[in-house]
């Protein structure tokens, strides 16, 4: 229970003392592997608590720890080669690399704390900690664009997290007047029927808007493209692949309380609005996109919108598909950001127009990028195909066919836009020297794609975990 937070926190301390060097470069990957091992152990341990109930693990939090561990392992395996290339190009210094090692591990520890927190208050503290830590990582290169993106990220997410804090205060007010002064998930859900409906409506709206800001949902999404495109590639993989999902995990916990206190219709309407708005924003902005890193960032807004739609549907199939989508998106988006980071280092530009004939110049890199795009677009055999199909089926079965149909139309626009941009990057005549992909980068990319494809074919031992986690997330029959 304590190790998923303690292990990366200890690794952060080691980096702070010893710095980033040949000996410590792989410590981050070792720490992520330890976190993943702890997550696997917790999936079979049932409900457990630690530190006098401050930390609680159930099927939902154990599943989220699996996602954090898997994405962190991919990102940390690719980090040594990425930082070595940055150092060789003069884009970083040993002191900045020391900060990178310490901050990335502290960031992973904060995300683990968020999903293990037993109360809204501790969850808020952990989410706020991720904002502070990642702000320095977004500005890692100290360029004008990176610094601007970091400030934009801090300002917008601070507004969002302040709204979430106000929502928590309102929820505590309602709980106090109901005679249960607590922010514990289980306590609030158990006594939800006694909470004042008027106060809870305001609290839930503020919480969805606040945590939705950190999840990249419209209308508070503006920080995401800048931050994800300027951060180091492994950090972008962590932010897009898992931080957004951790913030959405908070919304799932809020939804359980809201359904019991207000009925399912209130938060369902709220989530459908932000889901369709997010899909529409992503579709419109992807059409004219000229930067491949920002293209991947806008795609994250689309996928967060799909998660919101699945949560709004709320039945067992939909929530199981949402959780599978979280894992598949984390794996696929990590592969894409790591590929894009190596491409950016090789070309010195993130412009789509600067990339031509990638299939001829770098077959392996082009292959991982192309397969990552296919996974992102929800094509078989990747798990995002299965999860998107599950969300669509669940929506029609729940009588929300109109919302699913609107989402599918917007997704068609997104598929056309991303397909058009990436076709121009991958195909065409060879226009420069060959680009080689280091083995230490190729291994996590291939592993991530393979895992995403296997999950699209069979869930294996994950099936009962997904069912149990969907039940905890408030699934209806």
Q: Report pTM.
A: 0.96
Give CA–CA dist 468/462, Å, rounded.
10
> Tokens 């689309």 identify what position?
302
Q: Which of 115, 57, 99, 52 is nearest to 326 (CA)?
A: 115
pLDDT in tens, the chain (477 residues): 899 999 999 999 999 999 999 889 999 999 999 999 999 999 988 889 999 989 999 999 999 999 999 999 999 999 999 999 999 988 889 999 999 999 999 999 999 999 999 999 999 999 999 999 999 999 888 889 989 999 999 999 999 999 999 999 999 999 999 888 889 988 999 999 899 999 999 999 999 999 999 999 988 888 988 998 899 999 999 999 999 999 999 999 999 999 999 999 999 999 999 999 999 999 999 998 889 999 999 999 999 999 999 999 999 999 999 999 999 999 999 999 999 999 999 888 888 888 888 888 888 999 999 999 999 999 999 999 999 999 999 999 999 999 999 999 999 999 999 999 998 888 866 566 778 888 888 999 999 999 999 999 999 889 999 999 999 988 776
Neighbouring C-alpha atoms within 13 Å toward the C-beta of 287 = 9
Q: What is the dihedral of CA 54, 60, 64, 70, to 10 degrees?
A: 120
Backbone angles phi and psi of 91, in degrees to 5: -90, -5
- What gap in Å lies between CA 85 and CA 143, rounded to an integer? 17
């Amino acid at each position: 229970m304590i190790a998923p937070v303690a292990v990366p926190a200890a690794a952060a301390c080691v980096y702070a003392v010893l710095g980033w060097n040949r000996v410590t470069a792989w410590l981050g990957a070792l720490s992520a592997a330890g976190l993943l091992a702890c997550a696997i152990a917790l999936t079979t341990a049932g409900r457990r608590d630690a530190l006098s109930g401050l930390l609680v693990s159930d099927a939902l939090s154990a599943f989220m720890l699996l996602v954090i561990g898997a994405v962190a392992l991919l990102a940390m395996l690719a980090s040594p080669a990425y930082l070595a290339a940055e150092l060789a190009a003069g884009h970083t210094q040993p002191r900045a690399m020391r900060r990178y090692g310490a901050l990335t591990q502290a960031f992973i520890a904060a995300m683990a704390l968020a999903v293990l927190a037993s109360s809204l208050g501790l969850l808020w503290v952990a989410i706020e900690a991720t904002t502070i830590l990642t702000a320095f990582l977004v500005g890692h290169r100290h360029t004008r664009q990176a610094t601007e993106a970091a400030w934009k990220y801090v300002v917008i997410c601070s507004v969002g997290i302040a709204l979430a804090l106000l929502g928590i205060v309102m929820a505590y007010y309602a709980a106090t007047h109901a005679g249960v002064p607590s922010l514990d998930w289980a306590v609030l859900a158990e006594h939800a029927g006694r909470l004042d409906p008027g106060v809870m409506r305001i609290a839930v709206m503020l919480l969805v808007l606040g945590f939705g800001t950190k999840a990249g949902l419209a209308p508070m999404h503006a920080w995401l493209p800048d931050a994800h495109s300027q951060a180091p590639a492994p950090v972008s993989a962590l932010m897009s692949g898992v931080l957004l999902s951790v913030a959405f995990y908070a919304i799932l916990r809020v939804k359980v309380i809201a359904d019991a206190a207000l009925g399912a219709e209130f938060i369902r309407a709220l989530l459908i609005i932000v889901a369709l708005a997010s899909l529409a924003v992503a579709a419109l902005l992807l059409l004219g996109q000229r930067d491949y890193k920002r293209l991947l960032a806008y795609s994250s807004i689309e996928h967060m919108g799909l998660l919101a739609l699945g949560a709004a549907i709320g039945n067992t199939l939909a929530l199981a598909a949402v959780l599978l989508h979280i894992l598949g998106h984390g794996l696929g988006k990590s592969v894409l950001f790591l590929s894009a980071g190596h491409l950016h280092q090789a070309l010195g530009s993130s412009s789509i127009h600067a990339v031509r004939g990638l299939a001829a110049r770098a077959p392996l890199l082009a292959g991982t990028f192309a397969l990552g795009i296919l996974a992102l677009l929800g094509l078989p055999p990747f798990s995002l195909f299965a999860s998107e199909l599950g969300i669509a089926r669940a929506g029609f079965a729940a009588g929300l066919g109109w919302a699913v149909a609107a989402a599918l139309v917007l997704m068609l626009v997104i598929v056309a836009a991303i397909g058009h941009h990436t076709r121009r990057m991958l195909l065409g005549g060879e226009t420069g020297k060959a680009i080689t992909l280091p083995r230490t980068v190729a291994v996590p990319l291939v592993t991530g794609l393979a895992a995403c494809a296997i999950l699209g074919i069979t869930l294996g031992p994950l099936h009962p975990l997904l069912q149990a986690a969907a039940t905890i997330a408030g699934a209806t029959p």
